């Protein structure tokens, strides 16, 4: 192995060499279609000869890289460092002038979005499969983001896919490996490479948004009765959390756990939900921690979870919207509008209606929020898939959401001198004003694609013939009757660029306002994953006992009816979901 100094020397002498661009012949691979969030496949698939190179060249063929500045980062998963070197070689050969790369190939997804915007880069390539497990036998992913810092729109990803189908060669230069663990500026062939600290810009960003002095004073004055635990699940957020919670907020080092990023996430599934983030759930329960939180592999998702208190992502974004004024960023800039993805509960709509904000329902996928933000019509938004964020960047932002909650709790407590308010107090206060949208999602992961297609066909047939509309279904378990009001296939016309996205999920609405959504996941790497989202609204006058019931209880009847009318178990050949959130 070459030592670092030797590598730098090699690099220095290399810059004096003529830079020949080589054209390497290749053949198209099938199935390089970016999904909801980039191309995600098993590592072994990416390791096939020219597979990764083909996709990267197809990205460059779909954009205008000449003279551009490009950001490269990711969640540090297995196969990331090799892929950074591949991108440098191919990018340089395609005319990229400057690469900004996170140290050790690490940059969280929100950090990349921030860096693209802050340094006015042309775009960025993120090496992540988000919350999917990592390691030699698990998943890898490549995602392209555009100059507003957000995921590429479908017009770009479709173009990339088209290029992958006809690619005949890719361009590359010969160059020694760039030492990714050394911060600094390097000449690299005809280009420049800047290796940057992964954390600093992001911490500065959050400090400009939140009231850190208020949070710090609240946490230090309640050090024993309001303890914080953040779990990085060995994803990318570890160093960011260490900086924010320990260095900036002054919390004890034990306030963060699993905060060393690992290429295989320690063998875990880095997804912040009640099933996969069990290290957080177990520690919170065992130690009675008042405020716990976790983030996913690439740092854009979050879960808020304290002792005896779970915040659904749908409620979380509604509560942040309700309390927006307590966050300096929104106090100063105002709230321009609110939004959620279609399957997300309507809790945030109620906040918008009460406060007179404009609000939007977009398809699943953070990219759909970007145009609204760029047009100055959207400030706070969220998705049921544990995504929460704002227009400070163009990705969802896990640690932003966690700090938002701490800011809100600190503000609420500043106005409550006699009683320490925790997560549940905020939840119950919210339900008392707005009512509660009971919400749950059932995931059926890696089921046969044919079964999933049959389920969709069954729903579409009912939609076309109207055979289910008006029918009443009574739950055997609860005796509650639900009458189908409507079935439709969700389509969206972007209010800004008027682009149309069809087939975004089948929605069944009921006479009492309840709703069930069926949708195929766009992020899986094998087989099909079916998601069923259920929502039932209860008005504030239902009383505390009803409003505070466990979600599973409040939704029991509706779930039974949804499974029956969709014949989901028959089509998928499974009895129970893989994950319930
Ligand atoms: C990614 C996107 C999210 C989206 C989610 C949906 O995480 O960034 O915006 O909500 O995928 O995933 P699914 O598996 O349901 O398509
Ligand atoms: Zn993610």
Ligand nearest to the CA of 143: 1
Contact 401, 385 (CB under 8 A): no
ipTM for this prediction: 0.95
* CB of 388 sitting under 6 A from ligand 1: no
Ligand nearest to the CA of 237: 2
462: tokens are 């009912």
* CB of 523 sitting under 6 A from ligand 1: yes
Nearest alpha carbon, ligand 1 atom 3: 365
- CA–CA gap between residue 285 and residue 174 (Å, rounded): 54
Q: For residue 162, is it left (φ>0), alpha (ψ between -120 and 50) or beta?
A: alpha
Contact 522, 364 (CB under 8 A): yes
153: tokens are 């729109």
Atom number, ligand 1, closest to the C-alpha of residue 531: 15
Across the beta sheet with 380-383, what order do the strands follow?
Answer: 359-362, 338-341, 380-383, 387-390
Task: State the DSSP string of 186-239.
Answer: EEETTEEEEEE-SSHHHHHHHHHHS-HHHHHHHHHHTTTTS-EEEE-TTSTTHH
Nearest alpha carbon, ligand 1 atom 15: 521
Query: Ligand 1 mean position to 304 CA, how many Å?
Result: 18
* CB of 41 sitting under 6 A from ligand 1: no
> Tell me, what's the pLDDT at 13?
43
In the chain, % of residues over pLDDT 90:
83
Atom number, ligand 1, closest to the C-alpha of residue 395: 8
Structural class in CATH, domain 202-434: alpha beta
Query: Ligand 2 mean position to 49 CA, how many Å?
Result: 27
The model's confidence at residue 490, banded by pLDDT at 50, 70 and 90, is: very high
Measured in whole angstroms, how far is the alpha carbon of residue 413 from the centre of its chain?
29
Q: Over the stretch 112-170, which tens digit does the pLDDT of each residue have?
A: 999 999 999 999 999 999 999 999 999 999 999 999 999 998 889 999 999 999 999 99
* CB of 437 sitting under 6 A from ligand 1: no
Query: Ligand 1 mean position to 420 CA, how many Å?
Result: 36
Q: Which CATH architecture has domain 436-580?
A: 2-Layer Sandwich (3.30)
Q: Over the stretch 434-471, which tens digit does the pLDDT of each residue have?
A: 999 999 999 999 888 899 999 999 999 988 898 888 99
Confidence check: pLDDT of 576 > 70: yes
The model's confidence at residue 8, banded by pLDDT at 50, 70 and 90, is: very low
Nearest alpha carbon, ligand 1 atom 2: 365
Ligand nearest to the CA of 34: 1
> Tell me, what's the pLDDT at 153?
87
Ligand nearest to the CA of 441: 1
Output the average pLDDT for the chain: 93
> Tell me, what's the pLDDT at 4?
42
Pick the closest to residue 78 from 138, 1, 143, 144 (CA basis).
138
* CB of 130 sitting under 6 A from ligand 1: yes
* CB of 37 sitting under 6 A from ligand 1: yes
Atom number, ligand 1, closest to the C-alpha of residue 301: 7
Query: Ligand 1 mean position to 198 CA, how many Å?
Result: 24
4-198 and 436-580 share one CATH topology?
no
* CB of 258 sitting under 6 A from ligand 1: no
- Taking each continuous run of H as one helix and of E as one strand, the counts in the chain are 20, 27
Confidence check: pLDDT of 295 > 60: yes
* CB of 365 sitting under 6 A from ligand 1: yes
Instruction: State the distance between the two ends of the chain, measured CA to CA, in whole angstroms.
Output: 46
Nearest alpha carbon, ligand 1 atom 4: 365
> Tell me, what's the pLDDT at 198?
93
Q: Over the stretch 535-571, which tens digit does the pLDDT of each residue have?
A: 999 999 999 988 999 888 889 999 999 999 999 999 8
Catalytic residues: 130
The model's confidence at residue 1, banded by pLDDT at 50, 70 and 90, is: very low
Q: Please compute the mean of the pLDDT values over residues 297-303 and round it to a whole number.
A: 97
The model's confidence at residue 493, banded by pLDDT at 50, 70 and 90, is: very high
Nearest alpha carbon, ligand 1 atom 13: 521
Distance (Å) of CA 213 to CA 160, 398, 419 = 46, 21, 21
Least confidently predicted of 283-287, 440-444, 570-574: 570-574
* CB of 387 sitting under 6 A from ligand 1: yes
Nearest alpha carbon, ligand 1 atom 10: 365
- pTM comes to 0.92
The model's confidence at residue 18, banded by pLDDT at 50, 70 and 90, is: low
Query: Ligand 1 mean position to 187 CA, how many Å?
Result: 37
* CB of 383 sitting under 6 A from ligand 1: yes
Q: Over the stretch 57-88, which tens digit does the pLDDT of each residue have?
A: 999 999 999 999 999 999 999 999 999 999 99
The model's confidence at residue 524, banded by pLDDT at 50, 70 and 90, is: low
Strands (E) across 234-274 are located at 256-257
Structural class in CATH, domain 4-198: alpha beta
Domain residue limits, the chain: 4-198, 202-434, 436-580
The model's confidence at residue 526, banded by pLDDT at 50, 70 and 90, is: low
Query: Ligand 1 mean position to 522 CA, how many Å?
Result: 7
Ligand nearest to the CA of 581: 1
Confidence check: pLDDT of 171 > 70: yes
Pick the closest to residue 72 from 123, 115, 145, 124 (CA basis).
124
Query: Ligand 2 mean position to 186 CA, how many Å?
Result: 30
* CB of 364 sitting under 6 A from ligand 1: yes
Confidence check: pLDDT of 15 > 60: no
Q: Please compute the mean of the pLDDT values over residues 209-227 and round it to a whole number.
A: 97
Nearest alpha carbon, ligand 1 atom 9: 365
Query: Ligand 1 mean position to 293 CA, how many Å?
Result: 20
Q: Over the stretch 477-488, which tens digit does the pLDDT of each residue have?
A: 888 899 989 999
> Tell me, what's the pLDDT at 118?
97
Atom number, ligand 1, closest to the C-alpha of residue 131: 7
The stretches of 31-183 forming alpha helices (DSSP H) are: 43-46, 51-62, 80-93, 109-118, 154-166
* CB of 385 sitting under 6 A from ligand 1: yes
The model's confidence at residue 10, banded by pLDDT at 50, 70 and 90, is: very low
Confidence check: pLDDT of 361 > 70: yes
- CA–CA gap between residue 27 and residue 429 (Å, rounded): 60
């Amino acid at each position: 192995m070459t030592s670092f100094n030797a590598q730098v020397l090699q690099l220095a002498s290399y810059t004096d060499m003529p830079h020949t661009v080589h054209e390497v012949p290749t053949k198209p691979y099938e199935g390089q279609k970016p999904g909801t969030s980039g191309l995600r496949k098993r590592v072994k698939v990416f390791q096939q000869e020219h597979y990764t190179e083909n996709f990267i060249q197809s990205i460059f063929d779909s954009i205008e890289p000449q003279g551009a500045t490009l950001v490269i980062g990711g969640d540090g998963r297995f196969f990331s460092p090799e892929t950074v070197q591949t991108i440098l070689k191919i990018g340089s050969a395609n005319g990229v002038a400057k690469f900004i790369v996170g140290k050790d190939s690490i940059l969280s997804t929100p950090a990349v979005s921030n860096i693209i915007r802050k340094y006015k880069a042309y775009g960025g390539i993120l090496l992540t499969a988000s919350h999917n497990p990592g390691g030699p036998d698990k998943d890898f992913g490549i995602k392209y983001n555009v100059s507003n810092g957000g995921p590429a729109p479908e017009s770009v990803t479709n173009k990339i896919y088209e290029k992958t189908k006809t690619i005949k060669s890719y361009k590359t230069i010969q160059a020694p490996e760039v030492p990714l663990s050394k911060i600094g500026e390097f000449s690299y062939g005809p280009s420049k490479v800047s290796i940057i600290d992964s954390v600093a810009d992001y911490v500065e960003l959050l400090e400009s948004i939140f009231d850190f002095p208020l949070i710090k004073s609240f946490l230090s004055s309640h050090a024993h009765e309001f303890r914080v635990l953040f779990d990085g699940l060995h994803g990318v957020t570890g160093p960011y959390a260490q900086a924010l919670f320990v260095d900036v907020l002054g919390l004890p080092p034990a306030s963060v756990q699993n905060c060393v990023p690992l290429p295989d996430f320690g063998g875990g599934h880095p997804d912040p939900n009640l099933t996969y983030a069990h290290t957080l759930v177990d520690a919170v329960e065992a130690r009675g921690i008042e405020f716990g939180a976790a983030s996913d592999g690439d740092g854009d998702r979050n879960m808020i979870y304290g002792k005896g208190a779970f915040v659904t992502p749908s409620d979380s974004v509604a509560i942040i919207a309700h309390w927006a004024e307590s966050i300096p960023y929104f106090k100063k800039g105002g709230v321009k509008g609110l939004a959620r993805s279609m399957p997300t509960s309507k809790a945030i709509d109620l906040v918008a209606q009460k406060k007179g904000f404009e609000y939007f329902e977009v398809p699943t996928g953070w990219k759909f929020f970007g145009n609204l933000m760029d047009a100055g019509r959207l400030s706070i938004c969220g998705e049921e898939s544990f995504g929460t964020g704002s227009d400070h960047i163009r990705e969802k932002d896990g640690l932003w959401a966690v700090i938002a909650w701490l800011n809100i709790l600190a503000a609420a407590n500043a106005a409550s001198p006699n009683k320490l308010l925790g997560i549940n107090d905020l939840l119950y206060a919210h339900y008392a004003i707005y009512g509660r949208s009971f919400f749950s999602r059932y995931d059926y992961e890696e089921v046969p694609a044919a079964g999933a297609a049959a389920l969709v066909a069954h729903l579409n047939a009912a939609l076309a013939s109207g055979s289910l509309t008006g029918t009443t279904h009574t739950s055997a378990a609860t005796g509650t009757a639900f009458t189908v009001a409507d079935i439709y296939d969700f389509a969206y016309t972007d209010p800004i660029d008027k682009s149309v996205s069809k087939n975004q999920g089948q929605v069944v609405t009921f006479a009492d306002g309840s709703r069930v959504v069926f949708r195929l996941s766009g992020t899986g790497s094998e087989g099909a994953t079916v998601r069923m989202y259920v929502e039932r609204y209860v008005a504030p006058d239902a009383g505390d006992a009803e409003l505070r019931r466990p979600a599973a209880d409040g939704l029991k009847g509706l779930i039974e009816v949804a499974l029956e009318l969709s014949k989901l178990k028959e089509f998928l050949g499974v009895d129970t979901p893989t994950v319930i959130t």
